[in-house]
A and B are shown apart, each in its own frame.
Chain A
Amino acid sequence: MHSKSKVIWIDGVSCYGCSHSFYNYPEIKELLEKIELIYHPLLPSNEFKFQRCDILIIEGAIKNNFLRLDFDLIELISKLINLSKKIILIGTCSVYGGIFGEGVLFNKENKGKFFKYKDKIISIPGCPPHPEWIAYAIEMILNKKRLILDKENRPKEIFSYTSHMGCVRNEYFEWKIDAKNFGEKEGCLFYEQGCQGPYTHSSCNKILWNEVNSKPRAGTPCFGCTEKTFPKKNLFKTETFMGIPANIPLGVSKRAYLTLAGVAKSLKNERLERKLIDDSE
């Protein structure tokens, strides 16, 4: 029997939301049994010491002159990266900088300090990332499967979707019907409430949260938390220029989008104008 894969999970500047998200993975017990977890900041593990590992997981952002495990954080990560075969960056902080500043692979839009190690890095952004996405990356490595990655090293299986895909409000989006308030069943949140679903890479509406729901489904806008631009300001308000959304769905020209939107707005879908559930027959 061959030995289990060795995993080190290290925390940079972090709120531990990523770890907590992972704890919600329904099969976490089985997954942890498949690996040898050498170090994790919160889960039971041995005292930290430098050693070779198969998978290095980094949660949280990086920062100069920041102590972690009695080492300078940047030095700690440098050494560990050289000792590991594969690296999974977990959370938007770790991939792009996110809430806490600078990422490992990217510094927001620019190349990050550890960009030269791109070939062994897998990015799983999200604030936090869905537990299934984290588990997916680990399992693929454990099973020696090839991960197809995009330009920012995100697995396409998860991030070639937009969070708009699969939202139950898609019909309202098509017919340009706004949600007037949060939490309503009717309407799309793109026009007024700030939803970033149509231009955010994520599968939140395919792999549901807690296996039941997603933000936009529940009536809260998508905050674009998987993107390098996260966090933006005014998350509950759509940025518009002269009433026209400043950001339009991925892959369509502004002219084409406006033409289509104008046509849809001029026509009516009477079913969608009404409440979904009311007392009438």
Chain B
Amino acid sequence: MSKEEKKLEIMKTALNLFAKNGFYNTTIADIAREMGMSVGNMYNYFPSKESLAKELLIYTSKLFGEELKKINEMDISSKEKIKKIVELYFKMAKEEPELVDYFMRVYLSNKEIFANGCEGMLCVSAFVTEIMIFFEEGVRRKELKNQDFFAAFGLFMGYLGGLVFLFREGILGKDIEEYTNSVSENIYNALKI
């Protein structure tokens, strides 16, 4: 196994532990134990828990970013793209709930962990850049209303985040994927020209 593959495996293990026990309650020793590695060896891969958390964030953002890029490059309307993005997000929430949990609970609620080297957009730039391209092209093609970026971004991502949160809390009456059509429709109606 290459060093990169090993790192990825450690990140995935950590992801599960963070999601289960919370970021602060998880130690490097816990992650090492789960991996069957010595703590000393763990440090060969990540010098600190913070650096692991940071790389995990970059990894997640890239993962989302790459999927969004594929959607951006499709020759379809903004309306159809919105649906694809919603589908992607809800699918991720179901299939990789730890990843979505990590993004929402660790990144968004523990920003101080990322204060050093992950300021602003630094670690989430792959993801945010694709969202920007999606919006920019929608306006350029006269499909979406020209407005402030964050007003649109907040509406889109906040809405999706909110639903995933309800889903994870077990509050939604139906399966989250059953909301894809209505949620996509609402987002499109709110953003269209």
Do A and B originate from a single complex?
yes
User: Knowing A241-B146, A243-B148 touch, does A265 contact B136 (C-beta < 8 A)?
Assistant: no
Bound CA span A246–B141, Å:
12
Q: Would you call B135 an interface residue if the criterion is a C-beta within 8 Å of the partner chain's C-beta atoms?
A: yes
Q: How many B residues are at the interface, by size bracket?
A: 20 to 34
In the bound complex, do residue A267 and residue B152 qualify as a contact, i.e. CB atoms below 8 Å apart? Answer: no
Q: Would you call B132 an interface residue if the criterion is a C-beta within 8 Å of the partner chain's C-beta atoms?
A: yes
Chain B contacts for A267, CB-based, 8 A: 119-120, 122
Closest to B137 in A: A241
Chain B contacts for A244, CB-based, 8 A: 132, 135-136, 149
Of A49-57, A100-108, A200-208, A255-263, the one touching chain B: A255-263
Q: Is the interface of B mostly helix, strand, loop or mixed?
A: helix
The contact of A241 among B119, B122, B125, B140, by CB within 8 Å, is B140
Bound CA span A269–B139, Å:
32
How many pairs, one residue from A and one from B, have CB atoms within 8 Å of each other in the complex? 56
User: Knowing A266-B122, A267-B120 touch, does A241 contact B139 (C-beta < 8 A)?
Assistant: yes
In the bound complex, do residue A262 and residue B129 qualify as a contact, i.e. CB atoms below 8 Å apart? Answer: yes
Bound CA span A263–B61, Å:
14
Q: Would you call A252 an interface residue if the criterion is a C-beta within 8 Å of the partner chain's C-beta atoms?
A: no
In the bound complex, do residue A262 and residue B146 qualify as a contact, i.e. CB atoms below 8 Å apart? Answer: no
Q: Would you call B29 an interface residue if the criterion is a C-beta within 8 Å of the partner chain's C-beta atoms?
A: no
| Chain A interface, number of residues (Cβ within 8 angstroms) | 15
In the bound complex, do residue B119 and residue A242 qualify as a contact, i.e. CB atoms below 8 Å apart? Answer: no
Nearest-neighbour CB distance to chain B for A239, whole angstroms, equals 9
Chain B contacts for A243, CB-based, 8 A: 147-150
Measuring CB to CB, which residues of chain B are less than 8 angstroms from any residue of chain A?
119-122, 125-126, 128-129, 132-133, 135-140, 144, 146-150, 152
Measuring CB to CB, which residues of chain A are less than 8 angstroms from any residue of chain B?
240-244, 246, 254-255, 258-259, 262-263, 265-267
Besides A242-B148, A265-B120, 19 other CB < 8 A contacts? Answer: A241-B140, A242-B135, A242-B136, A242-B139, A243-B149, A243-B150, A244-B132, A254-B133, A254-B136, A258-B129, A258-B132, A258-B133, A262-B121, A262-B129, A263-B125, A265-B121, A266-B122, A267-B119, A267-B120
